[in-house]
Amino acid sequence: MTNKQTHFLADWRQLCHAALFETNPVKLLERISRARNAVLDRIEDCHTKPLNGEQHDLRDALTTLDHLRRITERQNGDQSKAS
């Protein structure tokens, strides 16, 4: 594995973990967006050089981030209505 591949692998995973464990609702959507972009960048990079098993992890991460984004947006909308 090259240094570039290791960097991408650590980067998208770290950003996903940061989004999943963010407790501040103000920061959460930004973290989700950054993680999602990193996953999409990695998917694009892997298109020509896939790593074993990483494709599945990337798809799972993208699905999880999309679910988290929808839940967060719904909760933010509910909080706005309650104000």
3-state SS, residue 17: helix
Contact 39, 58 (CB under 8 A): yes
**Domain hosting residue 64, numbered range:** 3-82
| pTM for this predicted structure | 0.77
List, in order, residues 6 or more apart from 55 with CB less than 8 Å away. 43, 46
- The mean pLDDT of 22-28, rounded to a whole number, is 91
Number of domains in the chain: 1
List the structure tokens of 79: 């909080």
- The mean pLDDT of 4-16, rounded to a whole number, is 71
**Tens digit of each residue's pLDDT (9 = 90 or more) over 43-62:** 888 776 666 788 889 999 99
